[in-house]
């Protein structure tokens, strides 16, 4: 008997909840497994939970998350009905430091399993840590963003700026990070609408 996608994800989540594969299990308040809906059309992968995410057990609920919701809303998408959201790390690195190589390695099996279960058609790699988790490249996010790459399970994969970066760059002028994100989200929506 094949389990449904939500059932498979639930089993994986239970595995994460008891995970002690790296030191972050000692400092976490909550595992942040996923948010949004298990929609196989669109998956967004972020970096790691921050303070608010760790407290609430939900990804992207702080300021960056609010901006992310606005970016999706600008093209009529929402986390309540269109997007599955997860992170490369399921536990918060203390003081929001960069994830350590051993933490990324320990957590990779969970991200890979989320992708394998959902087989999303479109994967958005939000920021450089997410890019490094699925792409073998030395190019920075500025060079990669807005371009489509071949992702796992025949998905289309696009690196995009992390909303925290956009929060630090206020300009909306042509060529600015916010302006570029606006181009990217429109391209993402165009391809999203073509997918069945
Ligand atoms: N930044 C991320 O990359 N992920 C979150 O869940 C929150 C902030």
Residues with beta carbon inside 6 Å of ligand 1? Answer: 32, 46-50, 53, 59-60, 64-65, 87
Above 90 in pLDDT, residue 146? yes
Query: Cα(48) to centroid of ligand 1, in Å?
Result: 5
* Count of other CB atoms within 10 angstroms of residue 94: 12
Choose the residue to mutate in 30, 34, 56, 62 for probing ligand 1, maximizing ligand atoms within 8 Å of C-beta: 62
| Interval between CA 129 and ligand 1 midpoint (Å) | 11
| Distance from residue 31's CA to the centre of ligand 1 (Å) | 13
Question: In 3D, which of 1, 19, 3, 4 has the Cα closest to residue 111?
Answer: 19
pLDDT at 196: 81
For residue 101, what are its two tokens? 């190589």
Segment 124-134, tens digit of pLDDT? 999 999 999 99
Q: Rounded mean pLDDT of 90-109?
A: 97
Give the three-class secondary structure for 174.
coil
For the CA of 61, the nearest atom of ligand 1: 7
pTM over 0.75: yes
The predicted structure's pLDDT at residue 96: 86
Q: In the CATH hierarchy, which fold is given to the domain comprising 24-194?
A: Uracil-DNA Glycosylase, subunit E (3.40.470)
- Determine the distance from the C-alpha atom of residue 11 to the mean position of all C-alpha atoms in its chain, rounded to a whole number: 20
pLDDT at 1 over 80: no
Could you tell which of 164, 165, 166, 167 is best to mutate to test the pocket of ligand 1, judged by most ligand atoms within 8 Å of the CB? 164
Q: How much is the mean pLDDT over the chain? A: 97
Q: List the chain domain ranges.
A: 24-194
Which atom of ligand 1 lies nearest, measured to the CA of 129?
3
**150: which strand partners?**
156
pLDDT confidence of residue 142:
97
């Amino acid at each position: 008997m094949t389990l449904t996608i939500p059932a498979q994800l639930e089993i994986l989540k239970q595995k994460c909840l008891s995970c002690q594969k790296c030191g972050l299990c000692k400092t976490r308040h909550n595992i942040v497994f996923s948010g949004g809906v298990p929609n196989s059309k669109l998956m967004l992968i972020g970096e790691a939970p921050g303070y608010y995410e760790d407290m609430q057990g939900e990804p992207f609920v702080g300021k960056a998350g609010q901006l992310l919701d606005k970016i999706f809303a600008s093209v009529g998408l929402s986390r309540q009905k269109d997007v599955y959201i997860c992170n490369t790390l399921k536990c918060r690195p203390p003081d929001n430091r960069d994830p350590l190589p051993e933490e990324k390695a320990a957590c990779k099996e969970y991200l890979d399993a989320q992708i394998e279960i959902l087989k999303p058609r479109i994967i958005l790699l939000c920021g450089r840590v997410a890019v490094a988790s699925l792409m073998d490249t030395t190019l920075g996010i500025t060079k990669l963003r807005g371009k489509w790459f071949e992702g796992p399970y025949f998905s289309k994969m696009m690196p995009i700026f992390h909303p925290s970066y956009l929060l630090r760059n206020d300009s909306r002028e042509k060529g600015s990070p916010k302006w570029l994100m606006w181009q990217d989200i429109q391209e993402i929506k165009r391809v999203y609408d073509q997918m069945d």
